């Protein structure tokens, strides 16, 4: 199921490399290359934890509902060093509940569990990815006994969001633009109905211009940007929905990029 170049051809990969080099410089461009090399060949995270989360999987190669393929993107794991650094910077209370929407093989859930969130859930519609994720959770549980186990749910993200009670919602570019907008609308409704703040962490590989999903977040009326950073070729955008902040970290940090998400989106639109 895995594809060593992801959804790139050699030509498009070379073009992306040159675009990143012009826009972000050699250091961040090489970080992207190092992260992709590790994901496809070295697989340091998988080796350390005894799990299988690396590689690229097209959902059309699984038994994912064909009618839903238009709503989803291919599977690829979040960079482990990047998300671990993000959790440390945000300093979110471990009393919060974390959910990964479109959790794939469960890497983000394993890292959230390692961070110490009181409850960790992954929601994934592809049966094959769910099976791998549950096996990964079992392998990880042997190293982290005595903790509340990670719950991997095979199901629809929209149905889950209708009754979600989580505090932190994580998404690694798992959805189409229209589907993401629906997810955000549902989370906004949940925030109001539960009278509590929700934290949304959206991430994607460093790219220019940012995806349309980044723009959708930047202009959604219910969400306020609180943090943005890039680490190991992974861009992270953190939003709060609701009046009371769930984040304890300062809204600005030396690790954060100097340009806000909304400014990034507007700049990309001007250059388009």
What's 190's domain CATH number? 3.40.50.150
DSSP 42: I
Is residue 6 a part of any domain in this protein?
Answer: no
| pLDDT band at 248; cut points 50, 70, 90 | very low
Is residue 204 a part of any domain in this protein?
Answer: yes
Is residue 17 a part of any domain in this protein?
Answer: no
- Residue 33's pLDDT is 85
Summarize the confidence of residues 207-232 as an average pLDDT.
92
Q: Which two tokens mark 39?
A: 């994901």
Is residue 52 a part of any domain in this protein?
Answer: no
Is residue 25 a part of any domain in this protein?
Answer: no
Cα–Cα separations (whole angstroms), residue 261 to 4, 60, 202, 207 = 30, 32, 11, 13
User: For the segment 56-95, what is each residue's pLDDT rounded down to a tens digit?
Assistant: 999 999 999 999 999 999 999 999 999 999 999 999 999 9
pLDDT above 50: residue 250: no
Is residue 233 a part of any domain in this protein?
Answer: yes
In degrees and rounded to multiples of 5, residue 210 shows phi and psi of: -60, 155
Is residue 35 a part of any domain in this protein?
Answer: no
Supply the range of the domain harboring residue 192: 67-271
Summarize the confidence of residues 120-124 as an average pLDDT.
98
| pLDDT band at 242; cut points 50, 70, 90 | confident
Is residue 21 a part of any domain in this protein?
Answer: no
The tally of domains found in the chain comes to 1
Summarize the confidence of residues 246-269 as an average pLDDT.
47
- Average pLDDT across the chain, whole number: 86
CA 163/CA 192 separation, integer angstroms: 13
pLDDT above 60: residue 266: no
pLDDT above 60: residue 190: yes
pLDDT above 50: residue 258: no
């Amino acid at each position: 199921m895995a594809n060593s170049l992801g959804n790139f051809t050699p030509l498009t990969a070379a073009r992306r490399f040159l675009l990143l080099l012009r826009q972000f410089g050699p250091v961040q461009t090489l970080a992207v290359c190092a992260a992709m090399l590790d994901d496809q060949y070295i697989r340091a995270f998988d080796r350390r934890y005894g799990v299988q989360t690396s590689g690229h999987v097209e959902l059309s190669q699984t038994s994912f509902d064909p009618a839903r393929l238009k709503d989803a993107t291919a599977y690829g794991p979040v960079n482990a060093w990047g998300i671990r650094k993000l959790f440390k910077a945000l300093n979110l209370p471990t009393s919060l509940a974390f959910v990964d929407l479109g959790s794939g093989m469960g890497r983000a859930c394993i890292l959230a569990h390692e961070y110490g969130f009181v409850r960790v859930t992954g929601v994934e519609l592809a049966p094959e990815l769910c099976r791998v994720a549950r096996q990964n959770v079992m392998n990880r549980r042997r190293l982290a006994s005595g903790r509340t186990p990670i719950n991997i749910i095979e199901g629809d993200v929209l149905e889950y969001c209708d009754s979600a009670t989580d505090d932190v919602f994580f998404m690694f570019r798992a959805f189409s633009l229209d589907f993401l907008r629906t997810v955000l609308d549902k989370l906004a409704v949940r925030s109001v109905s539960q009278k509590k703040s929700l934290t949304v962490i959206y991430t994607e590989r460093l790219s220019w211009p940012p995806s349309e999903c980044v723009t959708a977040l930047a202009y959604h009326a219910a969400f306020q940007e609180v943090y943005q950073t890039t680490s190991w070729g992974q861009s992270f955008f953190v939003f709060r929905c609701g009046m009371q902040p769930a984040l304890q970290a300062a809204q600005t940090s030396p690790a954060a990029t100097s340009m806000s998400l909304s400014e990034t989106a507007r700049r990309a639109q001007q250059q388009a």
